[in-house]
Amino acid sequence: MTMKNLDQLIEAARNHYHDRNLVAFLGEVGSGKTVVSALLKHATFNHFIPRNRGKYEAIISHGSTIINRILGDMIKDGLFPPSTVPQENPSISMEIHILKGRGVGKVELVLQDMSGENYSNFLTKEFSDSEKRLYQLLTFNKSERESIGPLAHLPFSKVYVILIDCSKRKYWEHEQSSAGQMITALKQIKELAKDTKNGRIWNPIAIVFTKTDQLDEKERDLPAEELIKKMPEFVSSLNLQTNGPCGYFKMFVEVEMESERDREARINREEEITRENFERKLKQQEEEIQNAIEKAIDEARNKATQEGKNPQQVEQEVERVRNETESTLRAEYQPETFTFNREEFLKTETKLMTPLKYSNGEYSKFISWILTNCTR
């Protein structure tokens, strides 16, 4: 990598993204990005557009097969989407076209899902060499034909959406907040790409609290503007590194908890399966031991016979080999005892409600906010 090289990449990314109204979604692995993107599609097509007839149009410009499958699983089967595996970086993008009034044009909501590894490389880890990081970010997963890859939209997006996972509420005050680190990393990236103003991120930022159903009763009904106060470190990070407008939102899917009886049955079933597997393994080991002994005995018998030993001597030799082989093998195959960690399976499973219930009003509010802030 040379500086000239990096400058060219930055220019390429700027030319490609700068004049588009891009909205980038950022959040740790498991924070709810995939669920939010699926529900965003649902809310846009089923609530937002029908309620604003004639004013907007929307299309899924990328990833419509994935998003429809995820939505189908959620609506029909009550299933959450599978989590993103390291090699996969599915990208989903939805365009909302503003047909009338101020801000006519289009807004692109881009969700470039990242695996945990990539996320920590690009947005959390302290990076001593920020130029190298930007270089890697711009060229990540790029094809032969292109100069920049799918993450190159990050420095030049218009609005950033940051997801905060409410199921991790108990860590908010302790650990250095990862949302704060993300803002710091983003500012460094934008600074190098020469897209900060007065040394700060100038872009509008939407803070989305996800899984708010997981908050305890005291906090569940707090407005998002109050919830953010529970993350003082993140707030000070925002104050230091950004100076654009901020919007706050709360999103959730209604889930039903497994009943006590269902959970008991699930754990018992799990224990039964574990025990069956254990017993199968023991049986298999025993067979292996017996086969190995048989083989050793055959060899010993053939050898002793060839050496011209009499039948009694042959039998003695066979017996010796049998005992020796058996004790060696038994020592090798340490007999294990059966263990089953009930604790591990005690965690309560949550299921999605069917028919799907979620905070669709908040989604509509969010979409309006995004459209206004993208076109201001």
Shortest Cβ 81–ligand GDP spacing (Å): 5
Q: Which of 32, 90, 180, 247 lies at the binding interface for ligand GDP (CB under 6 A)? A: 32
Binding window for Mg ion (CB under 5 A); candidates: 81-89, 171-179, 247-255, 279-287:
81-89
From ligand GDP, Mg ion, none, which one binds at residue 41 (CB under 5 to 8 Å depending on kind)?
none
From Mg ion, ligand GDP, none, which one binds at residue 35 (CB under 5 to 8 Å depending on kind)?
ligand GDP
Polymer length in residues for the chain: 376
Of residues 161 through 180, those in contact with ligand GDP by CB under 6 A are: none
Shortest Cβ 143–Mg ion spacing (Å): 22
Q: What is the distance of C-alpha 224 from the center of its chain?
A: 23
From Mg ion, ligand GDP, none, which one binds at residue 30 (CB under 5 to 8 Å depending on kind)?
ligand GDP
Determine if 373 is a binding residue for ligand GDP (CB under 6 A).
no
From Mg ion, ligand GDP, none, which one binds at residue 178 (CB under 5 to 8 Å depending on kind)?
none
Q: Which of 21, 34, 112, 210 lies at the binding interface for Mg ion (CB under 5 A)? A: 34
Q: Which of 141, 350, 360, 372 lies at the binding interface for ligand GDP (CB under 6 A)? A: 350
Q: Collapse the DSSP code of 375 into the 3-class scheme (helix H, G, I; strand E, B; otherwise coil) and give the result.
A: coil
Q: Return d(Cα 43, Cα 35) in angstroms, integer.
A: 12
Q: Which of 20, 33, 169, 250 lies at the binding interface for ligand GDP (CB under 6 A)? A: 33
**108: β partners:** 22, 95
In sequence order, the 6+-apart residues with CB closer than 8 A to the CB of 22 are: 108, 110, 153, 156, 157, 158, 159
Q: Return d(Cα 61, Cα 63) in angstroms, integer.
A: 7
| Number of neighbouring beta carbons within 10 Å of residue 359 | 20
Write the DSSP string, 167-188. GGGGGSSSS--HHHHHHHHHHH
Q: Collapse the DSSP code of 222 into the 3-class scheme (helix H, G, I; strand E, B; otherwise coil) and give the result.
A: coil
Q: Return d(Cα 141, Cα 120) in angstroms, integer.
A: 16
* Residue number with the smallest Cβ distance to Mg ion: 34
Sign (positive/negative) of CA torsion 222, 224, 229, 232? positive
Shortest Cβ 261–Mg ion spacing (Å): 32
Kind and range of the H or E element at 255? strand 255-257
Q: Which of 11, 14, 29, 293 lies at the binding interface for ligand GDP (CB under 6 A)? A: 29
Site string for Mg ion, 97-116 (x = CB under 5 A): ----------------x---
- What would the two tokens of residue 204 be? 């509008």
Number of residues located near ligand GDP, criterion CB under 6 A: 21
Q: What is the distance of C-alpha 235 from the center of its chain?
A: 24
From ligand GDP, Mg ion, none, which one binds at residue 73 (CB under 5 to 8 Å depending on kind)?
none
- The residues of the shown chain that bind Mg ion, judged by CB under 5 A, are 34, 84, 113
- The residues of the shown chain that bind ligand GDP, judged by CB under 6 A, are 27, 29-35, 80-81, 83-84, 113, 210-211, 213-214, 252-253, 255, 350
